[in-house]
């Protein structure tokens, strides 16, 4: 056999990238999410370049149409809609990413410990996960978000903080959103702990913590990434629903859900005030779902990638 007929060796990372690149919707979603994140991060720079203040109230400029000064017009208080959308994107994306990562971290620890130790410990943790999973998510979040922080014993300085609602939503979602990741990681751990490299580590006297952290976790990273990516869109949607109901991000902090709440009374007179944040929520959630699908295909070893000498 000639050298040209021998397929070139491809690293696992390049295989993942090739599979992901074939998923055109996932690539487009990654580009869109990157642009949204960069625009949100650049909100202070854009604000300074336009010479505007996102929080400045101008009752004489209410509901101004799109112009050179206000590219998307102004809202019911005369504030620039574009800047409000950008700052709202910072909050919504921050909540989605941080809450999803926190939930994934909790689920990863629970799944690793349950899958590796097994026995009654595994049974208890999985019954706990089943119990949390059986609870209706949205009603539970509404009840938890409606709790008065003052009655919970928090100091007045913290209870009246503008950012309290932001971190409360992250805490609540992380508290109840870890179950899916835990079950996925547990399944992967049950399979990996029987592999030869884990048995070799045990024979060499490695501790359980080292085996879980150094040998099992890196090989179970793909379901964690997929589950986390898919959950980001769900978290943003939940935050938007809670903010729309008045239980999420509280004014003056802007978020896309809070902007929808403010626009609901003016939906017929100024529909664009609801269309802009609603469209951004829709595009962001769909993009994260497509990105998760693409990552799932990319990490699937059964996927084939056209290459030299046949499929890889």
Residue 21 lies in a domain: no
Mean pLDDT, range 271-294, rounded to an integer: 91
Residue 142 lies in a domain: yes
Who's near 224: CB < 8 A, 6+ residues apart?
Answer: 104, 108, 181, 184, 185
Residue 263 lies in a domain: yes
Tell me: pLDDT of 196 over 80.
yes
CA-to-CA distance for 153 and 146, rounded, in angstroms? 15
Q: Please give the pLDDT value at position 230.
A: 85
Q: Please give the pLDDT value at position 206.
A: 84
* Most confident segment among 111-115, 235-239, 291-295: 111-115
Mean pLDDT, range 269-288, rounded to an integer: 91
Total domain count, the chain: 1
Residue 5 lies in a domain: no
State pLDDT tens for residues 68-85.
888 898 888 888 999 999
State pLDDT tens for residues 148-181.
776 666 676 666 666 777 888 888 888 888 998 9
Mean pLDDT, range 234-243, rounded to an integer: 84
Give the structural domain span for 84. 32-63+72-303
Tell me: pLDDT of 310 over 60.
no
Residue 15 lies in a domain: no
Please report which confidence band the pLDDT of residue 105 belongs to, taking 50, 70 and 90 as the band edges: very high
State pLDDT tens for residues 216-231.
888 888 888 888 988 8
Q: Please give the pLDDT value at position 301.
A: 63
- SS3 state at 7: coil
8 A C-beta contact, residue 247 and residue 145: yes
Q: What is the CATH classification number for the domain harbouring 198?
A: 1.10.3720.10
Angle between helices 43-50 and 24-41 (to 10 degrees): 60
pTM of the model: 0.83
Residue 162 lies in a domain: yes
Q: Please give the pLDDT value at position 268.
A: 85
Mean pLDDT, range 279-308, rounded to an integer: 78
Q: Please give the pLDDT value at position 302.
A: 61
State pLDDT tens for residues 12-50.
778 888 888 888 999 999 999 999 999 999 999 999 988
Which residues partner with 311 through β-bridges?
Answer: 306
CA-to-CA distance for 259 and 274, rounded, in angstroms? 7
Q: Please give the pLDDT value at position 286.
A: 93
Tell me: pLDDT of 9 over 50.
yes
Residue 205 lies in a domain: yes
Residue 215 lies in a domain: yes
More confident residue, 4 or 299: 299
Q: What is the chain's mean pLDDT, rounded?
A: 83
State pLDDT tens for residues 111-138.
999 999 888 888 998 999 888 888 887 7
Q: What is the largest CA-CA distance in the chain?
A: 81
């Amino acid at each position: 056999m000639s050298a040209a007929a021998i397929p070139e060796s491809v690293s696992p990372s390049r295989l993942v990238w090739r599979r992901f690149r074939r998923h055109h919707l996932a690539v487009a979603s990654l580009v869109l999410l990157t642009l949204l994140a960069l625009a949100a991060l650049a909100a202070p720079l854009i604000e300074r370049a336009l010479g505007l203040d996102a929080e400045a109230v101008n009752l004489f400029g209410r509901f101004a149409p799109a112009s050179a000064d206000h590219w998307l017009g102004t809202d019911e208080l005369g504030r620039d809609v574009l800047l409000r959308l950008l700052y709202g994107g910072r909050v919504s994306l921050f909540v989605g990413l941080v809450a999803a990562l926190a939930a994934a971290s909790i689920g990863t620890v629970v799944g690793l410990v349950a899958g590796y130790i097994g026995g009654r410990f595994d049974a208890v943790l999985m019954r706990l996960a089943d119990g949390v999973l059986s609870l209706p998510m949205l009603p539970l979040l509404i009840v938890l978000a409606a709790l008065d922080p003052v009655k919970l014993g928090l100091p007045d300085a913290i209870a009246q903080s503008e950012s309290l609602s932001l971190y409360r939503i992250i805490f609540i979602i992380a508290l109840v959103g870890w179950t899916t990741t835990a079950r996925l990681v547990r399944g992967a751990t049950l399979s990996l702990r029987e592999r030869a490299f884990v048995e070799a580590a045990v024979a060499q006297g490695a501790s359980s913590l080292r085996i879980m952290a150094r040998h099992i976790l890196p090989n179970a990273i793909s379901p964690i990434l997929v589950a986390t990516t898919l959950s980001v869109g769900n978290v943003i949607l939940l935050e938007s629903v809670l903010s729309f109901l008045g239980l999420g991000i509280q004014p003056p902090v802007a978020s896309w859900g809070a902007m929808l709440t403010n626009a609901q009374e003016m939906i017929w007179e100024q529909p664009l005030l609801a269309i802009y944040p609603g469209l951004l929520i829709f595009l962001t959630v769909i993009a994260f779902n497509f990105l998760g699908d693409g990552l799932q295909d990319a990490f699937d070893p059964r996927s084939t990638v056209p290459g030299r000498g046949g499929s890889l």
